[in-house]
Amino acid sequence: MDEADRQVLRRCRVRLVSELQVAPLWDALLSRELFTPGMIEDMQAGSRSRGDQARQLVTDLETRGNKALPLFISCLEDTGQNSLASLLRTSSQAAKGDPQAIRPLDLKPVALRPAGLKPEELRVVKQDPLKPTPGKLTPAVLGPEELWSAKLRPEVLRPEDIGSGGFSDVRAQMELRGNPDLAYVLNADPCGHCLIINNVDFSLRHSTRAGSDVDCEKLQRRFRSLHFMVEVKQNLASKQMVHTLVELARRDHGALDCCVVVILSHGCEASHRQFPGAVYGTDGYPVSIERIVNIFNGTGCPSLRGKPKLFFIQACGGDQRDHGFEVASTSPEDRARDSNPESDAAPFQDDPGSYDQLDAVSSLPTPSDIFVSYSTFPGFVSWREPKRGSWYIETLDSVFEQWAHSEDLQSLLLRVANAVSEKGIYKQIPGCFNFLRKKLFFKTS
């Protein structure tokens, strides 16, 4: 869906959710192949009220390709909802006639300056922080003057300063690990289940993910060393992925302390309320990260209530390539051009099953005790080398090996993000959605 059509839907969203009659629409949406039967079943099952179903329908419509809006207007006309059809058609025509009418406001920054300071004086200059500049405010420092430069100078923590491993750091981490109010208790042995879904061979729509087996082997060894029961599933279609995840969620986790899900696959952007992105089954159909995570919520997986549920996603978040920006230095091995990294981006297919556009903006209360780690920033590709595996998994494995005995999960992933961001000519930065209530330290002994 192009940006103009997307903005039309968002401008009309409130009225659509308020007035849309979804019950007569389902057959029309199926006949025009705007949605698959499974997608419509999901909307009906997951959203019981008319308003919830309408909201989900409008949100998901943004992912259904460039012809979605005119086809949806036709469905409205076929079901007698002419006022809404007219609203969308008129808004769409206005947007195409005057793109500025529908484009989001282009806000420009306004520079604020002290009274009497001329615009040409607003420039960046190197200045002694203790020497006042005319027209600017000098920070006030309380305390003896002799302490100013030595004790009260602001400092910025570098990534290598985090969790330096000194005696005081280790002692502080040990105190946290032993405090059940501040850290999850992972005393069970085995600690929990770890499911790895490794999709390598796809239909004609997507390429083979060379190097993914390398990632899978590393993760098997790593999570076994962290006292997890590791189970690997190879080359699952989208429905098989969901079935496997539901089966894991329905197990009795009562005697266990944690659960880990790792997905290695092609990925794409997808409409969402809580967690962005989707991963592809080997049949070329996507499963949203949000749906995967919600399988393990309190209703679907009651025996994991209050226990950490960790998701690691090695897949593209979109198809943008990040060239980065110039910094002072880059290590020689990262400048090497003899490597041939591949991306896990799935190219856009102009058909009703494509998830090709930016994420919809919406929100819901987010479940607790959830941690989702993404190999790349939403919208960008994730790099993988055929012989060494993906940058993200290779770095994750190395960092866990060196630091999991002394640092919590979030500190470990800060190290991963910093290391991955320094790799390659094209750039990549992992990220996460953290809804854990406490620190998490893996069981390493």
Assign 3-class secondary structure to 169-185: HHHHHHHHHCCCCCECC
80-84 contacts, C-beta under 8 A, 24 or more apart:
80/24, 81/19, 81/20, 81/21, 83/19, 84/12, 84/15, 84/16, 84/19, 84/20
Is residue 143 a contact partner of residue 152, using CB atoms and an 8 Å limit? yes
Helix (H) or strand (E) segment spanning residue 356: none
Question: Which residues on neighbouring strands pair with residue 260, listed in sequence order?
Answer: 194, 310
* Selection from 233, 234, 232, 235 nearest residue 202 by Cα: 235
Cβ partners under 8 Å of residue 368, min gap 6: 435, 436, 437
The residue assigned the tokens 């089966």 is 247
CA distance 396 to 400: 6
Q: Looking at 368-420, which runs of residues are DSSP E strands?
A: 370-374, 383-385, 389-390
* Selection from 377, 406, 436 nearest residue 162 by Cα: 406
Establish whether 316 is a catalytic residue: yes
CA distance 354 to 364: 24
Of the listed 266, 268, 301, 432, which one is catalytic? Answer: 266
Helix (H) or strand (E) segment spanning residue 123: none
Is residue 391 a contact partner of residue 218, using CB atoms and an 8 Å limit? no
Establish whether 193 is a catalytic residue: no
Q: Looking at 208-365, which runs of residues are DSSP E strands?
A: 228-234, 258-264, 267-268, 278-280, 286-288, 309-314, 342-343
CA distance 31 to 17: 22
Two tokens, residue 248? 């894991």
Please state the φ and ψ torsions of residue 322, each to the nearest 5 degrees: -95, 115
CA distance 186 to 199: 30
Which sequence positions are flagged as catalytic?
Answer: 266, 316
